[in-house]
A and B are shown apart, each in its own frame.
Chain A
Amino acid sequence: MKKLTSVADLERLRRRILSQRDPEKPRISVCGGTGCRAYNSQEVTRALKKELRKQGLSKTVALKQTGCHGFCERGPLIVLYPQRIFYQRVSPDDAPEIISKSVLKGEIIDRLLYVDQMEQKKVRFENEVPFYNRQQRIILGNNGIIDPTDIKDYLAVGGYSALAKALFQMTPEEIIAEIKKSGLRGRGGAGFATGLKWESCRNAPSPDGIRYVICNADEGDPGAYMDRSLVEGNPHSVIEGMIIGAYAIGAHHGYVYIRLEYPLALENLNIALEQARKYGLLGKDILGSGFDFDIKVSRGGGAFICGESTALMASLEGKVGEPRAKHIHTSVSGLNGRPSNLNNVETWANVPLIINRGAEWYSKIGTEGSKGTKIFSLVGKINNVGLIEVPMGITLRKIVYEIGGGIPNGKKFKAVQTGGPSGGCIPEHLLDLPVDFERLTDVGSMMGSGGMIVMDEDTCMVDIARYFIKFLTEESCGKCVPCREGLDRMLDILTDITEGRGKETDIELLEELGNLLKEASFCALGTTASNPVLSTIRYFQDEYEAHIKERRCPAGVCKALTTFTIDAESCTGCGVCLRECPQGAISGEKKKPHVIDKSRCIKCGLCRDSCKFDAVIVS
């Protein structure tokens, strides 16, 4: 494999790859993202491979393991080309039938089809799946068709053409102008104008000429996994974005700081980097342009704070993740004191798209202040759990009901939490809010990196507030007083409230501490830490009051405030709960109603989970 030393080389290679691919040739793509793998999708791939071999079809039918397709609730997912037949919840045992019926004869296997709950209809083809076609998958779309470990797949869909354009048809200033014009804002949470950031980094003085571009892949918000899927499924899109950015800024060294908890993403990223180097798309004299640039990968150590730019850079210098004062921006003095441009994974992935299709096209998507699309991880109490990519400005209601398919088990929607531990909970009456940086901040939440957690009537909002504060007390670096001491005390108060020891003055004190953190913390972890508490107090004050004044948890979650009782009318005396109870707290004779000894009950819920007659009542 000879290195590509010119755009002509690249285009020649691309043409050759395309000429060797027949779009009509039958192809199976199996989702190989972490989610589907946990559902044994690799076994499905193996079974399909075995069956193809058995039937002598290994050369005529292509089998590909791709990145995350996004419809995680329905995994393992496979798509059969060229018809784009969409099968969900596939098991390895289905392999022979899939090959014999669908691949060879084009016959549809009904039981593997997705059933759209709302229209009560079976969906046969991928482009008819409402979950997908209500999205605008300009970034995620390729995840389902490329094998992330094969650069040729990326080249086949036009990969690295943006790089060629940037290196040979545009000047660094023109690239920055284009990014500015597109209105791209950081996708990591803060939403800072990307073009402006690049510009200030390029213009910052550097005596030895060293500048850095860094990719923040330390996706720490619990419930958010967009970046994981992008790096796992399409690492080249991120790499290409970084090379373009480096060229525009004048950096020759790049870093990707990736979470330790993402082993597959790390693996695929390293494979992609190796391949890019082999092809001359990374390293010295990229595509014969004279531009040198390479990327090093650094793993996180399990610290949420390292998602903060200065803490991340400290970690890259081998130090603890303690943030630094930001009077001097990192774009002027960052890693090793040099100008450094840090952007989130998704931000980088948007760059090749903007260069290829132009800022004007891009800026038509989205709202006035928030351009482009955003990838969200829609999780929690929602029917269609998965990754979605939607244009900015779409309403939360559309996301939750039209794409998400509403709340499972007929439960009532209560809130949607965006922005992770830095964000807030948005209640039902605000569901028509368009998703936009400013609008979300106005209601006490924020865009954040894209985690969107849906909660229903069985979720206790005080418990949720406590959950986030507990998370932050464990992740705080401990440097500044408001965050370290303030969060600890807020946790004490919230624990007291959820365990029935709440006091009248607690809500006021929580607000006071919350405002202290907002005003006085050293870094953004602290200044946004009180958002979950303050937003739940704002919209769900009645729940707090029920806990404090009535010692009652309306959602039935806080153990200390709930009691488990057996309804004598429904209980058949089958004895299952008696056997399941780990504390031996249930007694009763066969066929006679059983009783729970409240003094021994630890409220583990095993009895309720095992009762076939719904006789266990939680109040």
Chain B
Amino acid sequence: MTNHVEKVTQIINRYGANKDSLISMLQDIQAVYRYLPEDALRIVANELRLPLIQVYAVATFFKAFTLQPRGKHLVTVCLGTACHVRGARAVLDEVKRHIGIEPGVTTGDMQFTLETVNCLGACALGPIVVIDGKYHGQMSPRRVKTTLKVYRNKPTK
């Protein structure tokens, strides 16, 4: 990865290099790189004069952060209670089967990253799968195949 210093420092200064805003800084950094690169975390720790482990601890505590690069398409399955009661687990199992990975993992070809979330607050549409920010409501195991097809560049296998 190329030199992150300028970009990351810019983000740090956006918050006045204030330690309190560490989480916001990491969110902005992840928005740019789509994950948290090691170098970026080292720069943050350096600029904020924090032990690296403290920044690392925050990066590993909050589910929103990922230290691994994400795939092209982010598939998020909602596992909130309302969605669960309407069969979200079966939907997740079907998605797992189709993409071939467990939640929290990215496919080898960097096409898909699968994650789960505990309620998006759109409970009338449950079960919900969000792909690249688009909400696909009333999902069922049957609809998984056709919904995912749209996002595939090349056929599977």
Contacts and interface: CB of A to CB of B under 8 A. Distances in A.
Direct A/B contact, Cβ within 8 angstroms: yes
Given A222-B118, A318-B20, A467-B81, A301 B63 contact: yes
Given A72-B123, A381-B85, A609-B142, A318 B58 contact: yes
A225 B122 contact: yes
B23 A223 contact: no
Interface string B20-50: 1111101100000000000000000000000
Contact of A261 (B21, B117, B126, B140): B117
B125 A261 contact: no
Contacts of A451: 81
A610 B142 contact: yes
A18 interface: no
A465 to B, nearest CB: 12
B85 A302 contact: no
Contacts of A223: 80-82, 119, 123
Interface residues of A, number: 60
B80 A318 contact: no
B20 A72 contact: no
B97 A39 contact: no
A580 interface: yes
Contacts of A319: 22, 54, 58
Interface in B58-115: 58, 61-65, 79-86, 90, 93-94, 97
B123 A377 contact: yes
Contacts of B83: 222
Q: Which of A72, A379, A609 has the most CB of B within 10 A?
A: A379
A436 interface: no
Nearest to B134: A38
A303 B118 contact: no
A459 B85 contact: yes
Contact of A301 (B23, B85, B94): B23
Nearest to A71: B124
Nearest to A582: B97
Interface in A449-495: 451, 453, 455, 459, 464, 467-468, 471, 474-475, 477
A131 interface: no
Interface residues of B, number: 45
A380 B88 CA distance: 12
B122 A298 contact: no
B121 A34 contact: yes
Contacts of A221: 81, 119
Contact of A222 (B20, B79, B94): B79
A616 to B, nearest CB: 13
A319 B58 CA distance: 6
Nearest to B119: A222
Nearest to B26: A301
A315 B23 CA distance: 8
A558 B85 CA distance: 13
A602 B23 CA distance: 42
A320 B61 contact: yes
A17 interface: no
Contacts of B135: 34, 37-38
A370 B125 CA distance: 32
Interface string B125-148: 110100000010100111000000
Interface string A194-233: 0000000000000000000000000111111100110000
B87 to A, nearest CB: 8
B97 A299 contact: no
A318 B123 contact: no
B83 to A, nearest CB: 8
A471 B26 CA distance: 25
A299 B80 contact: no
A600 to B, nearest CB: 14
A114 to B, nearest CB: 14
A254 interface: no
B155 to A, nearest CB: 16
Nearest to B135: A38
A379 B65 contact: no
Given A223-B80, A302-B62, A379-B123, A38 B85 contact: no
Interface in A591-607: 604-606
B66 to A, nearest CB: 10
A283 interface: no
A379 B128 CA distance: 14
A73 B119 CA distance: 17
Contacts of B54: 319
A260 interface: yes
Nearest to A336: B20
Contact of B90 (A317, A582, A604): A604
A357 to B, nearest CB: 29
B118 A475 contact: yes
B62 A467 contact: no
A228 B121 contact: yes
Contact of A471 (B62, B118, B125): B118
Nearest to B48: A318
A609 B142 CA distance: 7
Given A35-B122, A225-B123, A298 B24 contact: yes
B61 A321 contact: yes
B81 A261 contact: no
B20 A260 contact: no
Nearest to A72: B124
A582 B98 CA distance: 10
Q: Which of B27, B86, B118 has the most CB of A within 10 A?
A: B118
A228 B119 CA distance: 11
B121 A261 contact: yes
A468 B81 CA distance: 8
A386 interface: yes
B52 interface: no
19 contacts: A38-B135, A75-B124, A221-B119, A222-B84, A261-B121, A298-B21, A298-B23, A298-B24, A301-B63, A301-B64, A301-B65, A302-B62, A302-B65, A316-B20, A321-B61, A321-B62, A379-B81, A453-B82, A604-B97
Given A72-B122, A377-B82, A606-B142, 7 more contacts: A72-B123, A73-B124, A229-B121, A301-B62, A303-B61, A320-B61, A464-B84
Interface of B: 18-24, 26-27, 54, 57-58, 61-65, 79-86, 90, 93-94, 97, 117-126, 128, 135, 137, 140-142
Interface of A: 34-35, 37-39, 72-73, 75, 219-225, 228-229, 260-262, 298-304, 315-321, 377, 379-381, 385-386, 417, 420, 451, 453, 455, 459, 464, 467-468, 471, 474-475, 477, 580, 582, 604-606, 609-610
